[in-house]
Amino acid sequence: MERQKNTFAIASLAGGILILLNIILIAMNGGPIVLSSSTQSIDALLQNSSPFWFRIAFGIRDYSGSTSLAVGAVLATIIIYLAVTLYESARNAQLFSFLIIVLTAVTLLYGGGFIIGSILAFIGAALMYEEPKKFNQTLMGKMLDSMRASSQIFEHFAQESPVREGAIVILFANLLSGIGNGIFAFNVTKITGAANAVVPFQILYTNRLGLDTSIVQTPVILMGLGILKWVILSLVLFLVAVNLFGNKASLASVATLTGFAYAPVALQVFTPFIFASNPYQTQWSLLVFLLTNLWAAVILIAGMKQIMNVSYTKSAATVISCGGIYTLINYLVLTQVNIPNYIRFQIQPAETMLFLTSIAIALPILFMGSKKASS
């Protein structure tokens, strides 16, 4: 247990050191660290048929002044201090872990220790928060186990069904996804709506990201919608799996699995670290959206297989069929909600979308048959 605690504290410590290093490098560079794929002029990047170009940036320009960086260095040192204190003793573990989490979120403005630093500090602190629980009994441990589709964690969901934790994951994933999407979409709008090259240049080349209070609305609305989507998907999965395909599963275990399957969506918080040339801007966002959602689908397939005790084919068929129904409901109802600073992806025209969802719903049923047909 002591060794486990030390590992968590060391993860936070390593994260804190990386965050401090990131801040020092920004100071040495005289501004955010911007790594681009090639050298292109701003005029070329703003054309509709501009060449493929992207850049990754660590640190926001408005937070790279000497006073801001000095504050950032103090915050990073506090993270290091708290991690060392947690390494020394588990006293006040909850308070110190909570502080590390909050400070890590703030230091994302300074590049978050090349992203890796903030991930390490956050995961270490989140695991430490639930000390002395074992890794796979903590919420963060369960999230990480779900993300690597561990069969043990799905077994745990089938037996104990911690629905409340599933709901927390939904809120957490949508909060982070909302922050990432909000910042990204707000700045893409600023680039595309700019009257001259000044604002696009500053965002693309110097990472002078615009941060507006309207960005706050995005995560709040997404969290509310996330709960609705979770309930809908869980119900659809349960009804199709149990009533249509005749498998055995409890609603609580399906709801828990669905909640934890959303965990990769939290990674969308890192979307604004990368911006691309004009036509590839939305494609980058689409790529993140597709990868995180496909990851969630893979978790669902692996988890449903374990919960229902069926083959991968049957589990995949169930998830695809339910995914079709869920997409349809999402398209008809939830897309009507106006979310500010949000890039929405829809298959157009509507006929194509309806055709594809119909195929996704019908094919598994045709191949596997319903409960009555199979029995």
Pick between residue 31 and residue 246 the one whose CB is nearest to another protein: 31
Selection from 179, 168, 5, 31 nearest residue 108 by Cα: 179
Binding mask 18-57 for another protein (x = CB under 8 A): --x--xx--xx-xx----------x---------------
Q: Answer yes or no whether residue 205 interacts with another protein by CB under 8 A.
A: yes
Q: For residue 236, give every residue at least 6 positions away whose Cβ sits within 8 Å of its Cβ, in sequence order, or none.
A: 322, 325, 326, 329
Pick between residue 73 and residue 287 the one whose CB is nearest to another protein: 73
SS3 state at 248: coil
> Among 53, 201, 230, 245, which residue sits at the site for another protein (rule: CB under 8 A)?
201
# chain residues binding another protein, by CB under 8 A: 34
Q: Answer yes or no whether residue 81 interacts with another protein by CB under 8 A.
A: yes
Q: Answer yes or no whether residue 356 interacts with another protein by CB under 8 A.
A: no
Please state the three-class secondary structure of 151-212 as a single string. Answer: HHHHHHHHHHCCHHHHHHHHHHHHHHHHHHHHHHHHHHHHHHCCCCCHHHHHHHHHCCCCCC
Determine the angle formed by the axes of helices 139-147 and 281-308, rounding to 10 degrees: 100
Query: Are 104 and 125 within 8 A, CB to CB?
Result: yes
Q: Answer yes or no whether residue 176 interacts with another protein by CB under 8 A.
A: no
Q: Answer yes or no whether residue 69 interacts with another protein by CB under 8 A.
A: yes
Span from 48-56, 83-91, 167-175, 264-272 in contact with another protein (CB under 8 A): 83-91
DSSP secondary structure string for all residues of 34-93: EEESS---HHHHHSTTPPP-EEEEES-GGG-SHHHHHHHHHHHHHHHHHHHHHHH--TTH
Q: Answer yes or no whether residue 280 interacts with another protein by CB under 8 A.
A: no
Span from 82-90, 103-111, 220-228, 243-251 in contact with another protein (CB under 8 A): 82-90
Task: Determine if the peptide bond prior to 349 is cis (ω within 30°).
Answer: yes
Integer Cα distance of 31 and 47 in angstroms: 27
Pick between residue 88 and residue 155 the one whose CB is nearest to another protein: 88
Pick between residue 25 and residue 239 the one whose CB is nearest to another protein: 25
Pick between residue 37 and residue 136 the one whose CB is nearest to another protein: 37
Q: Answer yes or no whether residue 71 interacts with another protein by CB under 8 A.
A: no
Shortest approach of another protein to residue 10 CB, angstroms? 8
- Residues in touch with another protein (CB under 8 A): 6, 10, 13, 17, 20, 23-24, 27-28, 30-31, 42, 65-66, 69-70, 73-74, 76-77, 80-81, 84-85, 87-88, 195-198, 201-202, 205-206
